[in-house]
Structures are given as structure tokens and as C-alpha cells.
Amino acid sequence: MPGLSFDDDEAPAAGLVAKGQAGDNAAPLTISEISSLLKRTVEDRFGFVRLRGELSGVKRAASGHLYCCLKDEGAVIDGVMWRTGAQRLAFVPEDGLEVVASGKLTTYPGRSKYQIVIESMEIAGEGALLALLEKTRRRLEAEGLFASERKRALPYLPRVIGVVTSPTGAVIRDILHRLEDRFPVRVLVWPVLVQGRGAEQQIAQAIDGFSRLDGTGPVPRPDLLIVARGGGSIEDLWSFNEEIVVRAIANSTIPTVSAVGHETDTTLADYAADRRAPTPTAAAEMAVPVLRDLANALDELGLRQRKCALRPVQLGRERLEARVARMPKPEALAASAAQKLDELGERLRRGLADRAGRARDRLQADAAALSAPLLRARLQAAQRELITTRLQPALLTRALQERRERLAAIARLAEQLHPERPLQRGYAMVLDAGGRAVTSSTAARKEPALMLKFRDGTLDVAPGTAGRSARPKAGSPSATQPKLL
């Protein structure tokens, strides 16, 4: 019992069986009783403490409770944070992170250990927060989320721009005002919290929601995405350093511009985005060109196009004028030809006159041969020669006999090739209803009725048997001696 002490000489002698002594009021305690006394004593004495240390062995149970250890250079204490408190944490606890934990000390009788029940947990200073940021950055960079080959080019003229930001801040007004000044486009705003508990989930859900739009519904799919927030401390911008937001930006199917904070502020969202804007206003300037500048550029291009179209015509006109100037006069080109034409005309005139003179002389020389008595004498001589000429009958009869023999040979050949000649030898002809010969089985199948013509008459064939195969059986006389023609 407290307050009792025994000198060595007065200490009770140890016996084999525990027995009560006279005046002894210190009854033995059970283990559970002493554990309860220790638990009440520790909780009463240390009902609220704040501990600073490094997290170690962090794990989250299936029930949602968080278990960890807090340590420094010389000691370690276990810690537990119930599910309701763990859900309110503004950061993800990791091993090696220095934190300040607030709660109460208690004991765990099951293991005879004391521990702290953590009610709230904060990162121990900005240095620890920056260390956590750098650790997360290296881990995500190792996964390739910040690789340059993942970066996509921004569309030059987006028709629809999606903005993920707070709907009540000055950021959205700055973006809309800048877009209105430069190039008015349609803007879709997904309102989210940009700091505080639950902000990172809302930002990630907004980015994923824009990516899931397919453009077939009433809400169009954005061509460009801007994730924006105004300036602030590192704690204010911490939502954009959360892994869930970084992965959402990296997995976005829409080109994304990160415009978080001022020019000197840098978050992990800036590394994952396709482009980083120093301010939200600069993001709007990156998103669209200046309409006035674009119109001036189009006018200049149109002027250059017209000049380019007219330049070949102008150059052709100049070349044509230069060539025309170098060409000789038409009179000079035709002078030699005209002189030659005059010379040939004179020669033609003289040649025609000479030829007419020679023809006149020849006609006068032949005039005697063309006299009427001479022509009449020649006609009478020709008549006498015709009268004395006699035809020889042998010439006519020989030619007639040759043609008669050729005709007889053709008649004999026609008799041998007559289509009914084979009927005398036992063959038959297949005729259709009109009496025309049928020469193929395909044509025979198409006829409604057939006739077989023999030497001594015809035989009608029933229509039902017209399509049957006429193939003879093996071994029959008709197999070796066909009778159909």
C-alpha cells in the first residue's frame, strides 16, 4: 500500500503460501485492476497533449482507423486516430513526415503499452510541408506523369473552353474578361472548392467529368481545359499538390492549362498539365489568340494571296511586251516572201504562155490526123474486123461442163450431210414443239415438250421426262452405240 515501508529487518518472511498478516490492509490487485488504475492516472494527468515527431509505420485499417508511431531521436510512442478524425485530415500521412499530433495519452492494457489517441494532426512547419511536397514530386515523376512526351499542343482556336475553379472568386471573372477582350468563345465553368477539406476530390472529379463528356448531349465537350486558382500560401494551394488532382490532370483526355497561384507559385498540378500559366489571366491569353490580330493577319494574307495571284499575270504581260519589242516588224518579215511571190508570179505567167504556144503548135500538127474522111475509114475497118470474127463453141461448152461437174459434186456432198441422212442408219433427232432441232441437254430441259424423229415417223416425249438424264447404264447396248443425235 502507498505510505507503507518495511525495513529489511522488519520485512515479512516469504512463505510458500500467501497469507494475510496481522494488520495487513494491502490486498493483492488483479492485473486488470492495476491496468485500470494506470489508465485513469495517465488519462487524468495527460488529458491533452501536443506531440511533435516523425511518422513511422503508418497504416490505415479496413475500418478506417489510422495507426502509426511517433518517434524522435530517443523514444517512440504508438498512436491511433479513429476514423472520424482520419477523414478530416488535410493531407495524406506518410512515413518520414514530421507532424504535430494533438490528443490524449492512454494505455492499452492488452499489451501493457501506452499510446496517444490523436484527435488532430498537422504538418510540423513549412519545411516539413515542402519536404512532403518534394517527396511526392519525385515519386510521381518516377512514374512518368511529368514526362515531356506526355505534353500535348493546345488547340489554336478552341470552340469551347472548360474552367475548373471557384465560381465566386475573382479568378473566373478575370478569365472571362480576358477571353471577351481577346476572342469571345463559349466557356463552361465547373464550380469547385479550391482550398480546404474535400477540395482535392471536387477538383479531380471536375477534371474527370469534363473528360467523360462525349459532345453528343446538351453539354458540349471542351476543346481546352483550364484549372485555375488565385494566389495564396503553400497551405492554401495544397489541394493542387494532392496526388488525386495530379493524376486527374495527367489522365485528362483534354489538353489542360494549369493556372494556380501567382507567377512565383508552383504546384504539382503545373508539372502534370500540358502548359503552365503564371496567372489565370495568362491562361486565358494562352487559350485564344487576339481576334483583332487574327483579322489583320487574315487581311494581310488575303492581300498577299491577291498579289500572288496577279503577279504571274503581271510578269507574263511584261515578258510579252519585251518579246514583242524584240520581234521584227510584220512588213520586214513579209518583204522577202513578197519579193519571191512576185518573182514566181512572173515566172508562172511566162511558163503558161510558153506552154500554151507549144500546145497550139502540137494541135495544129495533129489537125490533119483528125480529119473526117480519115476517122470514117478507121470506123469501117473496125466494123469489117468485127464481122469476120467468129466465136468458138468449144470454149463455152468446156466452161459449162466444168461448172456442171462442180454442181454435181456439191449435190452429192449435200446429200451426205443432210440432217435426216443418219436416220436411215438407226439414229434419231430431238425436236422441240416447233420442229426445230435441239442440240444440247440444257436447251432440252427448258422445252415443255419434245419429239423424237425416227426413220419411219416421230414420237412425242412427255414433259415430265424431258429433264431426265439420258445417260445409258453400263453394260447396255446403248452404252457403246449411242442412238440420239
403 located within any domain? no
DSSP string, 375-424: HHHHHHHHHHHHHH----HHHHHHHHHHHHHHHHHHHHHHHHT-TTGGGG
HEC string of 390-403?
A: CCCHHHHHHHHHHH
- Least Cα distance to 467 among 439, 441, 430, 431 occurs for 441
> The C-alpha cell of 79 is what?
498512436
CA distance readout (Å), 142 to 135, 138, 139, 223, 267: 11, 6, 5, 29, 17
Q: Could you read off the pLDDT tens digit of each residue along the chain, which spans 485 residues?
A: 444 444 545 555 555 666 656 656 667 778 888 888 888 888 788 888 888 888 888 898 888 899 999 988 888 888 999 888 888 887 778 887 888 888 888 888 777 788 888 988 887 776 777 777 888 888 888 999 999 899 999 998 899 999 999 998 889 999 999 999 999 899 999 999 998 888 899 999 999 999 999 888 889 999 999 999 988 887 788 889 888 999 999 999 999 999 998 888 888 999 999 999 999 999 999 999 988 888 888 889 998 998 888 888 888 888 988 888 887 777 777 778 888 888 888 888 888 888 888 888 887 777 666 667 777 888 888 888 877 766 667 767 888 888 888 888 888 888 777 777 788 878 888 888 888 888 888 888 888 888 888 888 888 876 555 444 444 434 444 433 444 33
Task: Report pLDDT for 110.
Answer: 76
Task: Report pLDDT for 465.
Answer: 52
**Torsion over CA: 190, 147, 140, 130 (sign):** negative
* 432 lies in the same domain as 304: no
263 located within any domain? yes
Neighbours of 210 (CB within 10 A): 24
Helix axes 125-142, 243-250, angle to 10 degrees: 30
146 and 271 Cβ atoms separated by less than 8 Å: yes
* 160 lies in the same domain as 59: no
Long-range contacts from 425-434, C-beta under 8 angstroms, 24+ separation: 426/455, 426/483, 427/483, 427/484, 427/485, 428/452, 428/453, 428/454, 428/483, 428/484, 428/485, 429/453, 429/485, 430/484, 430/485, 431/458
Look up the CATH number of the domain holding residue 195.
3.40.50.2300
35 located within any domain? yes
**Alpha-carbon Rg of the chain, whole angstroms?**
62
Look up the CATH number of the domain holding residue 71.
2.40.50.140
356 located within any domain? no
* 159 lies in the same domain as 227: yes
98 located within any domain? yes
pTM of this prediction?
0.48
The type of residue at 394 is A
* 91 lies in the same domain as 177: no
* 282 lies in the same domain as 309: no
236 located within any domain? yes
* 186 lies in the same domain as 284: yes
For the chain, the residue count is 485
70 and 55 Cβ atoms separated by less than 8 Å: yes
* 266 lies in the same domain as 221: yes
Q: How many domains does the chain have?
A: 4
Question: In terms of residue numbers, what domain contains 73?
Answer: 31-123
162 located within any domain? yes
Which strands form 450-454's sheet, in the order they lie side by side? 429-431, 450-454, 457-461
Last residue of a domain, one of 238, 264, 289: 289
- Phi and psi for 410 in degrees, rounded to 5? -65, -35
* 172 lies in the same domain as 59: no
Secondary structure class of 198 (helix, strand, coil): coil
The secondary structure element, H or E, covering residue 106 is strand 98-108
* 271 lies in the same domain as 297: no
What is the 8-class DSSP label of residue 32?
H
* 193 lies in the same domain as 270: yes
* 55 lies in the same domain as 118: yes
80 located within any domain? yes
Distance CA 385, CA 397 (A): 25
- Least Cα distance to 69 among 130, 111, 112, 118 occurs for 118
* 183 lies in the same domain as 274: yes
Neighbours of 175 (CB within 10 A): 25
